């Protein structure tokens, strides 16, 4: 339940509503808004009649929050949430670009990629150091040594770094060493990991599981918000459907739906959705046309030699061409992207 106070409600009126809700065994929580205060009531059981609350002085309306993911829902929080990573802000009018190799392989690979990305106006450098691979015999990542390469690239270019976390034991390290923590598709419902990431404030890039319903995805995000971390960016990266002709199926339906269901920023990963490099530009363009808040794209100096996801990584020329297309497309969509934000990208 959400109790929306009138814009001119006094502090005493707000406190009175909170007190009445508490008396009735609810757990009210103040949610300050731009123009007026709202009071959220968490939990599935509410012990108070809506009509009784509506009658209290200063109350404008009482809204039943029907969604299971309350804090993530737009009903609870109508304004868009902005998430800041370095200088980039997801949800602030320009598509935020995250790019880099699937896996960190060597210092040289990461540095050359980072410099190319920086000169192309990319905002965040990505790279996996522990890789979630389907087979234990596939390349597993170079581990902590990879973090040093990413940090060197950050020092040289100023690009913040986004790194996938696999183990809860790494949270203490990541929270200070990484600018954005990726929770991959395979860990979307690792509730222990989510609960622990909820206790820190480092922004989380939460990817949708390849077999997760949209509601399950949003409830996974609810774990993060409910535990206190509101810096969450959602990522659609393709789901499994009956269609097997490409790696996954990019679910743009859900991307469009999420704009109405949630206040959190939503980005798209065309690389894992497609599984092949030639499909990345068209899927990226389609995502931008829906108004996504950003993209995450894999790129490698020599994709055919990549130790993971070789088929889907763009080489540098292909990546530059994609950036040119994205810039033009975003500039042609002033209803979705603010021209001033793009000019300063």
Stretch that binds ligand PEP, among 88-96, 136-144, 145-153, 182-190 (CB under 6 A): 182-190
Quote the longest CA-to-CA distance of the chain.
Answer: 68
Q: Which helix (H) or strand (E) holds 54?
A: helix 50-54
Cβ distance 60 to 5 under 8 Å? yes
Number of residues this chain uses to bind Mn ion (CB under 5 A): 2
Shortest distance, position 179 Cβ to Mn ion, whole Å? 19
**Residues 209-248 vs Mn ion: string with x where CB under 5 A?**
----------------------------------------
CA distance 340 to 345: 9
CB-nearer residue toward ligand PEP: 91 or 127: 127
Would you count residue 309 as binding Mn ion (CB under 5 A)?
A: yes
Would you count residue 129 as binding Mn ion (CB under 5 A)?
A: no
CB-nearer residue toward Mn ion: 102 or 188: 102
User: Binds 184, which of Mn ion, ligand PEP, none (CB < 5 to 8 A, cut-off by type)?
Assistant: ligand PEP
Would you count residue 275 as binding ligand PEP (CB under 6 A)?
A: no
Spell out where the chain has E strands. Answer: 2-5, 28-32, 37-41, 59-63, 83-85, 88-90, 96-100, 124-126, 161-165, 180-183, 204-207, 232-236, 266-268, 294-298
CA distance 279 to 271: 8
Q: Which helix (H) or strand (E) holds 152?
A: helix 144-157
The residues in 183-202 that bind ligand PEP, with binding defined as CB under 6 A, are 184-186
What is the Cα Rg of the chain in Å? 21
Strand partners, 2: 40, 63
Would you count residue 170 as binding Mn ion (CB under 5 A)?
A: no
Shortest distance, position 218 Cβ to Mn ion, whole Å? 23
Stretch that binds Mn ion, among 4-12, 17-25, 208-216, 303-311 (CB under 5 A): 303-311
Would you count residue 294 as binding ligand PEP (CB under 6 A)?
A: no
User: Binds 185, which of ligand PEP, Mn ion, none (CB < 5 to 8 A, cut-off by type)?
Assistant: ligand PEP
Q: Based on the number of CB atoms within 10 Å of its own CB, is 94 exposed (0-12), middle (13-18) or buried (19 or more)?
A: buried
Would you count residue 272 as binding ligand PEP (CB under 6 A)?
A: yes
**Residue ranges binding Mn ion (CB under 5 A):** 102, 309
């Amino acid at each position: 339940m959400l109790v929306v106070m009138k814009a001119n409600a006094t502090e005493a009126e707000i406190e009175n509503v909170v007190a009445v809700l508490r008396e009735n065994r609810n757990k009210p929580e103040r949610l300050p808004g731009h123009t007026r205060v709202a009071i959220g009531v968490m939990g599935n059981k509410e012990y108070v009649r809506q009509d009784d609350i509506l009658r209290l002085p200063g109350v404008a309306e009482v809204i039943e929050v029907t969604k299971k993911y309350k804090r993530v829902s737009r009903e609870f929080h109508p304004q868009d949430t902005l998430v800041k990573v370095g200088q980039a802000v997801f949800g602030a009018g320009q598509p935020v670009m995250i790019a880099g190799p699937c896996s960190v392989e060597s210092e040289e690979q990461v540095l050359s990629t980072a410099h190319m990305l920086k000169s192309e106006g990319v905002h965040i450098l990505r790279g996996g150091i522990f890789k979630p691979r389907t087979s234990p015999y596939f390349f597993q990542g170079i581990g902590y040594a990879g973090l040093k390469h990413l940090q060197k690239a950050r020092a040289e270019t100023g690009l913040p770094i986004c790194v996938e976390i696999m183990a809860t034991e790494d949270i203490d390290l990541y929270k200070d060493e990484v600018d954005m923590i990726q929770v991959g598709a395979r860990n979307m419902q690792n509730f222990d990991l989510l609960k622990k990431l909820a206790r820190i404030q480092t922004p989380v890039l939460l990817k949708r599981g390849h077999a997760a319903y949209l509601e399950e995805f949003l409830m996974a995000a609810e774990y993060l918000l409910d535990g206190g971390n509101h810096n969450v960016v959602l990522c659609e990266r393709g789901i499994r459907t009956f269609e097997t002709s490409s790696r996954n199926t990019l679910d743009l339906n859900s991307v469009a739906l999420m704009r109405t269901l949630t206040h959190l920023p939503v980005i798209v990963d065309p690389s894992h959705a497609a599984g092949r490099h030639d499909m990345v530009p068209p899927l990226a363009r389609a995502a931008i046309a829906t108004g996504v808040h950003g993209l995450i794209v894999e790129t490698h100096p020599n994709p055919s030699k990549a130790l993971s996801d070789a088929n889907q990584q763009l080489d540098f020329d292909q990546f530059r061409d994609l950036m040119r297309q994205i810039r033009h497309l975003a500039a042609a969509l002033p209803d979705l992207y603010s021209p001033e934000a793009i000019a300063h990208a």
